[in-house]
Amino acid sequence: DVKVTQSSRYLVKRTGEKVFLECVQDMDHENMFWYRQDPGLGLRLIYFSYDVKMKEKGDIPEGYSVSREKKERFSLILESASTNQTSMYLCASSLFWLPTGRYTGELFFGEGSRLTVL
């Protein structure tokens, strides 16, 4: 079965703390993504990665960084958490598109990490 696992379901941190959100997928997917989801704003892409050690900025990368040292693991880092980063964070993965047609548009999501910054 397809599995994307986010290590922390609920976190409470203080302003200024460094926060790590971990995501692991067991599907050998090339692509991994970090979104945040806020009421009234929907899902917004923070960062994504097409390969190990590769990262690309999404729509709202400010205040975040990422790390992808292994294919199965994609970490989101808040260097100095702020209250406006209180949100639900969703990790996702997908297969890479190849000219041969091995492609799926489907994202597989983790259960989410609800972060509260006080």
Partner 1 sequence: EDKVVQSPLSLVVHEGDTVTLNCSYEVTNFRSLLWYKQEKKAPTFLFMLTSSGIEKKSGRLSSILDKKELFSILNITATQTGDSAVYLCAVRGGSQGNLIFGKGTKLSVKP
Buried b / exposed e over 53-70, threshold 16 CB at 10 Å, is eebeebeebeebebbbee
- Assess contact for 32 and 24: CB atoms under 8 A: no
- The Cα–Cα gap between 62 and 57 comes to 9
Alpha-carbon span 10 to 113, nearest angstrom = 6
Per-residue mark of binding to partner 1, 56-95 (x: CB under 8 A): x-x-------------------------------x-----
| 112 touches partner 1 (CB under 8 A) | yes
Our finding on whether 97 is near partner 1 (CB under 8 A) is yes
Closest to partner 1 by CB, 79 or 111: 111
Q: 1, 10, 28, 42: which one contacts partner 1 (CB under 8 A)? A: 42
Q: Does 19 bind partner 1 (CB under 8 A)?
A: no
108 contributes a contact to partner 1 by CB under 8 A:
yes
| 83 backbone dihedrals φ, ψ, rounded to 5° | -60, -30
**Which residues are at the interface with partner 1 (CB under 8 A)?**
4, 33, 35, 40-45, 48, 56, 58, 90, 97, 104-112
